[in-house]
Amino acid sequence: MSESARVLLKRLAALRPVAAALVERRSADDPTAHDPLRGLYVSRESALRAASEGGPDPAAPARDGEALEAAEPCPGGGAGAGAGGDRLSALVRDFGLSALDLRILLAAAAPDVDRGFEPLYGYLNDDVGRRRASVALALELAGSGPHLPRARGRFHAAAPLIAGGLLAFEDEDRPLPGRALRVPERVVAHLLGDDTLDEALCRAGVSLLPAAPRAADTADTADTAGATGPGDAAGTAGTALLVARSRRPVTVHLRERHGAASAASVVAALRAAGRAVLLYRPGPRTPDPSIGTVLRREARLRGAGTAVVVTALPDDPGGLISSIAAPDITSVFSGPEPCDPDWAQAAAGVSLLALDAPVPGAGAGAGAGVRPGVGAGAGASAEGSGNSSGGGGTAANRWRAELPGFDGDMAEAVASYRLDGEQIEAVGRAARELAAFEGVALGARHVRHTARRLSAPLLGRHARQVRPAVGFADLVLPETPRSRLVELVGRARHRDEVLGGWRLRTGGGRGRGVVALFAGPSGTGKTLAAEVVAGELGLDLYVVDLSSVVDKYVGETEKNLERIFVEADRTDAVLLFDEADAVFGKRSQVRGSNDRYANLESAYLLQRLESFDGIAVLTTNLRSNVDEAFTRRLDLVVDFPFPDAALRAGLWRGALAGAPTEPGIEAELERCAAEFELAGGSIRSAALTACYAARVRGDGPVTAADVRDGARREYVKAGRLVPGTAGAWAP
């Protein structure tokens, strides 16, 4: 038997004669004391006796909770409480219990430990079915009563027993003195020496991360990794160590726009400092309101060193934060939303420190320092500017550790992904399993296949997903636009290193996004080029459906676009605004309310592109329709020219590369390319028509006549004169 269990049983043994004496006093003048059916019904004699008693004596000396506590100090409340395995003393200290609180708690917990108290409580409650202590009974056993104001105050929602989650009421419809008291099983188990995680936390997905072994050595290593250069702000690792080694409990809100890399660093630093961590990921939905109280109780039960870390905060996290945050508990809240000062006000006595986390990445700039934000509550803040030096080594080391035996250029393969530590671990594990399943060496294809499934899971709500299936070999373009596309891929891959590591990011809240405009006539390959860029980066392409974005009501279009931009900021994907001039059009002179609201929409987009952190491609058939102010904010403008005869011949060959064709069809393709001025999209449609004609005929491969007929039909579809018909319309 554990020492804590012995202490608890000893205290309950002292409570038993008190309960027995109360039974004796009750039965001395109870006319139904020997009635075998006592407690099953109220007899006439019992009712008359209750009426004659009249309640507490108003002339009796006042012995409320304050007098009781002054006369009898609470055991274990001083320094050194909890030594020798006495968890009752530690409970008193960590939850701020008074002597009366402790007596109430013991009276309520007695039936959960010793069944012998059940018949005693059933008799004293005058109800054989109510075998838990009521409020009145617990106070009576503690030497007080429900008629005393200070005693009743021990059951207030803000009192230590209730606010700390040590007591719960049953029979809420009864008056307070008659309500039954229940001690949660987790509290009883803790007092008996059991440290199993609370069942409610297990159901909610809370993880208990014990302190890391050899905590001192690990902490020294982390301290070295978190060092920053002169004039630099504290980096992610440095900030994590400040939280872990703080001499007093702190409450931190860490704003992370992408993933939870900084929160993971805080968890690692806390564990390295010898502290256990309760890790909770509630997700976007608002969790059960009681989960915060249970988390706070669990942290206190496990000792002052236990910290609570909550990542992926819900959409409205104020209630969760206020229910967990406490002056005596280190708690870290990580999420994409900015810190709201009301959260600190809701958590009484708590100073909420607000920090902005860097965007994680694989490049050297991925470890940019945490930038102090505006503190809520006490307004805590820090000074400093710039980025931490060498921060990107952590992500690179994680990738190397998770991808042993990688075949190829690892830096090039993972540069497009902004993943935190847990995501890198998940991608590495899945990529290794996929390569082992195929029986081949681990390569970039396996990493990209698994990483893009983690990168953009929620963008599909707002845009149409396209899984890239083409590459640069499928593009037929002049050298200039092709080189611009290669440059776009390079910018997207190395933006973290250049903007962060090389410190080329300007101020003004500008993001690290890459935005390009593809301009050219219809069918010249703009959408295909966007798919090629996404495929080269190993990302999915998401095409924004403008019909679902544009709304006739004022302000709704901006709200819809903001949802898309926010999600694109958080994830790794290429965003395509096809026919972008519909929302990125020129501002006009204000002649009416419609013009004013249209200009407001353009102004919103101009500002939003400045802070964008993702990758976006805009396409338009008429570059002149796009406002010049947008052009300045674009990283690249790629002009897609109408193809000449040589390019059209290449497009014809590419379109029919996989189809069975008759010998000598090359010459016909050259003639069609010279005679029919078709863009790439039209050439593909003509080739598709030719292939269907050959397949329906079923007598051989695609012939020159099929190709020419397909080209002629594209001309007719466009309402153009077919070459060689002397001005007559083709049939």
Q: Fill in the DSSP letter of residue 198.
A: P
Q: Where are the domains of the chain?
A: 3-191, 199-372, 393-455, 472-639, 645-717
686 Cβ neighbours under 8 A, 6+ residues apart: 655, 676, 678, 707, 710, 711, 713, 714
For residues 345 and 564, the model is more confident at 564
208-217, 374-383, 576-585: which has the highest mean pLDDT? 576-585
393-455 to CATH, choices 3.40.50, 1.10.8, 1.10.10, 2.60.40: 1.10.8
Which of 29-38, 155-164, 369-378 has maximum average pLDDT? 155-164
Q: In Å, how far are 89, 278, 291, 308, 575 from 295, measured between CA atoms?
A: 21, 8, 6, 8, 39
pLDDT given at position 65 = 43
Structure tokens given for 241: 């160590």
pLDDT tens digits for 232-248? 334 555 667 778 778 78
Q: How far apart are CA 266 and CA 334, in angstroms?
A: 10
Q: Judging by beta carbons within 10 Å of its beta carbon (0-12, 13-18, 19+), is residue 642 exposed, middle or buried?
A: middle
Helix count and strand count (H, E) for the chain: 31, 15
Q: Which residue type sits at 33?
A: A
Which of 2-16, 107-121, 261-275, 348-362 shows the lowest per-residue confidence on average (mean pLDDT)? 348-362
What pLDDT is recorded for position 638?
95
Same fold, 393-455 and 645-717: yes
Residues 6+ apart with CB under 8 A from 259: 360, 418, 419, 420, 423, 570
pLDDT tens column, 417-436: 877 777 788 888 889 998 88
Least confident of 305-309, 433-437, 505-509, 537-541: 505-509
Contact yes or no for 182/167 (Cβ under 8 A): yes
Angle between helix 99-113 and helix 3-28 axes, rounded to 10 deg: 90
Give pLDDT tens digits for 256-297.
866 667 788 888 889 888 899 999 998 777 788 789 999 999
Stretch (H or E) spanning 652: helix 645-655
Residue 666 contacts residue 550 (beta carbons within 8 Å) = no
Report the b/e string of 553-575 with b at 16+ CB within 10 A: eeeebbebbeebbbbbbbbbbbb
pLDDT of residue 509: 65
pLDDT, average across residues 107-124: 90
Q: What is the 3-state secondary structure (H, E, C) of 49-60?
A: HHHHHCCCCCCC
| Distance (Å) of CA 445 to CA 364, 432, 441 | 23, 11, 10
pLDDT per position as a tens digit, 599-613: 677 778 888 888 888
Kind plus residue range of the DSSP H or E element containing 708: helix 704-717
In the chain, pLDDT over 90 holds for what percent of residues?
37
Buried b (16+ CB within 10 A) or exposed e, 611-622: ebbbbbbbbbee
The average confidence (pLDDT) of the chain is 79
Contacts of residues 588-591 at CB distance under 8 Å and 24 or more positions apart, as own/partner, are: none
Weakest mean pLDDT among 296-310, 548-562, 693-707: 548-562
Q: Provide the Cα torsion 123, 124, 125, 131; round to 10°.
A: -60
Length of the chain: 731
Instruction: Tally Cβ neighbours within 10 Å of residue 228.
Output: 19
Mean pLDDT of the 26-43 span: 63
Most confidently predicted of 330-339, 495-504, 516-525, 694-703: 516-525
pLDDT band at 377 (very low <50, low <70, confident <90, very high): very low
Report the topology of domain 645-717: Helicase, Ruva Protein; domain 3 (1.10.8)
Greater pLDDT, 219 or 702: 702
> Which tens digits make up the pLDDT trace of 645-664?
999 999 999 999 999 999 98
State residue 396's pLDDT score: 76
Give the mean model confidence (pLDDT) for residues 367-377.
Answer: 40
588 CB contacts (<8 Å, ≥6 apart)? 595, 598, 599
Task: Supply the pLDDT for residue 171.
Answer: 87
Round to whole Å and give the CA distance between 161 and 174: 20
Q: Are 654 and 615 in contact (CB under 8 A)?
A: no
Pick the CATH number of 472-639 from 1.10.238.10, 3.40.50.280, 3.40.50.300, 3.30.565.10: 3.40.50.300
| 308 confidence band (pLDDT: 50, 70, 90) | very high
**Structure-model confidence comparison of residues 711 and 730, the more confident one:** 711
Q: What is the pLDDT of residues 670-691, one digit of tens each?
A: 999 999 999 999 999 999 999 9
Q: How would CATH label the architecture of 199-372?
A: 3-Layer(aba) Sandwich (3.40)
C-alpha pair distances (Å), 342 with each of 282, 286, 338, 382, 486: 20, 17, 12, 21, 48
Share of the chain above pLDDT 70, in %: 77
- pLDDT tens profile 50-96: 444 444 455 544 444 444 443 344 444 433 333 335 899 999 999 99
Q: Which three-class secondary structure state does DSSP give residue 8?
A: helix
- The secondary structure of residue 177, as a DSSP letter, is G
The number of angstroms, rounded, from the C-alpha of 576 to the middle of its chain's C-alpha atoms is 25
Q: In terms of C-beta density within 10 A (0-12 exposed, 13-18 middle, 19 or more buried), how is residue 648 classed?
A: buried
